[in-house]
Each structure stands twice: as structure tokens, then as C-alpha cells.
């Protein structure tokens, strides 16, 4: 039986390219391509029956739903849908977060077509797909993974948005102008998120954001 696929990535050129690749495989059928989590959820909720077997999911999606936000909901509402995360951010903590949230596999976007096809078929068959095991220095203790999950889930959507703008190098005044907020409101958000994450300074915030896919 053919594997029915859904593709979610905010780069349409990538999803079109993947769809073209998969169209050459007789056992793969693409039933939907989406640029946002909102569009994916609308499609799934409007379908009379589960329209796919495997979802290829990028983690970095436009608000209000990024990939890590979507995973628990997908697991809860559509437990038969198996999810293969396809991301360019592959830190050990991010991989662990994705698996804990409900993904069945995780693949780096740098993987070649052969590895991607093999990963999709493996996930469809019920196997778990993991990136190559990191060396000892990159290993992450389970306690650190749990703490990272907790810290991330304490952040509001607005706080995550502000983290992204801080990492772009914007000042509080520039962020306030971008988001149509008062500068004091942005400063409050920055202070709150730094306290929640236990960080001190922009450099630590940028490093945390890179490591955790924010």
C-alpha cells in the first residue's frame, strides 16, 4: 500500500521540490503541501478521515504554531499519523524535544534524497529514525532535556517572537516599532523571558536560541 504524505515547510520551493521527488516513487503519494501549522490543522480538521500516513514536518514555522507546538496536538488528535521531523536545526536537545513531543523520527535537511526516502519508508513501517549518535562531548543528560522542555514551554508566543528579534540584533526600541508595542512593554517581556530562562545578557540568549531552535 502506498504511503500517503503531507509536507509542512514555510519554503514553498522546498515542498514543491520534495513533491516532485516523491512523485517519481510509486509507493509515495503527496496529499498536501502546507506553509504553516495553521493551514495543516485546518486541512486535517476538515478531512472526513485521516488523509495521510506520514507527515514531513519542519520545526521552524510562522506563528502561531511552530513544529514543537504542533507535535503534542497531532499526537493527541491524530495518533495514527506518524511524524518525521525534517529540520536544519539538529541539536541533541532539539531532537530529544521532538521525540518527547510525539515525533517518530528526526532527519537533518542536509540528508541526501536516498536517506530521506529511506527515512520516510522506515517511519511508515513503524520504525524510529534518529540522527547519527553524537560523540561523548555532545551527549545531553536526560535531566537537561527535561529542563529545556520545561523552560521552552514557559515562554509565551510574544516572548518567543521577541527572542527572534533580539537575535536579529534589534534593540528594544526597534522591536517596539516592529511589533507596534510600547518600548516599556518590550523591556518587560525581555526581562521576564531572561528570568524564565535563567540567562544573563544577549550573548547567552542568542546561544540558547540557537541550541533550542527558538
Domain range summary for the chain, segments of one domain joined by +: 3-124, 154-212
Query: Contact, 111 vs 119, CB < 8 A?
Result: yes
pLDDT of residue 163: 84
Angle at the Cα of 36 (from 130 to 118), degrees rounded to 5?
A: 30
pLDDT at 144: 54
The CATH classification number of 3-124 equals 3.40.50.2300
At residue 132 the predicted structure's pLDDT band, cuts being 50, 70 and 90, is: low
DSSP characters over 58-108: -S---TT--HHHHHHHHHHH-TT-EEEEEES---HHHHHHHHHHT-SEEEE
What's the fold here for domain 154-212?
Answer: Arc Repressor Mutant, subunit A (1.10.10)
Tens of pLDDT, residues 17-72: 899 999 999 999 999 999 999 999 999 999 999 999 999 999 888 888 888 889 99
Amino acid at each position: 500500500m502506498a504511503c500517503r504524505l503531507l509536507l509542512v515547510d514555510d519554503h514553498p520551493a522546498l515542498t514543491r521540490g520534495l513533491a516532485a521527488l516523491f512523485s517519481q516513487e510509486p509507493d509515495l503519494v503527496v496529499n498536501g503541501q502546507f506553509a504553516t501549522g495553521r493551514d495543516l490543522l485546518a486541512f486535517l480538521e476538515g478531512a472526513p478521515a485521516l488523509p495521510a500516513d506520514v507527515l514531513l514536518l519542519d520545526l521552524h514555522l510562522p506563528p502561531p504554531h511552530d513544529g514543537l507546538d504542533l507535535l503534542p496536538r497531532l499526537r493527541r488528535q491524530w495518533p495514527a499519523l506518524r511524524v518525521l521531523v525534517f529540520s536544519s536545526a539538529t541539536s541533541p536537545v532539539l531532537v530529544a524535544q521532538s521525540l518527547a513531543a510525539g515525533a517518530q523520527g528526526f532527519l537533518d535537511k542536509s540528508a541526501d534524497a536516498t536517506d530521506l526516502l529511506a527515512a520516510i519508508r522506515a517511519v511508515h513501517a513503524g520504525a524510529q529514525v534518529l540522527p547519527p549518535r553524537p560523540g561523548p562531548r555532545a551527549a545531553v543528560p536526560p535531566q537537561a532535556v527535561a529542563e529545556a522542555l520545561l523552560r521552552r514551554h514557559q515562554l509565551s508566543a510574544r516572548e518567543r517572537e521577541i527572542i527572534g528579534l533580539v537575535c536579529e540584533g534589534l534593540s528594544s526600541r526597534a522591536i517596539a516599532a516592529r511589533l507596534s508595542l510600547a518600548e516599556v512593554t518590550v523591556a518587560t517581556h525581555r526581562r521576564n523571558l531572561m528570568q524564565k530562562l535563567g540567562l544573563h545578557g544577549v550573548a547567552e540568549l542568542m546561544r540558547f536560541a540557537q541550541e533550542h531552535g527558538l
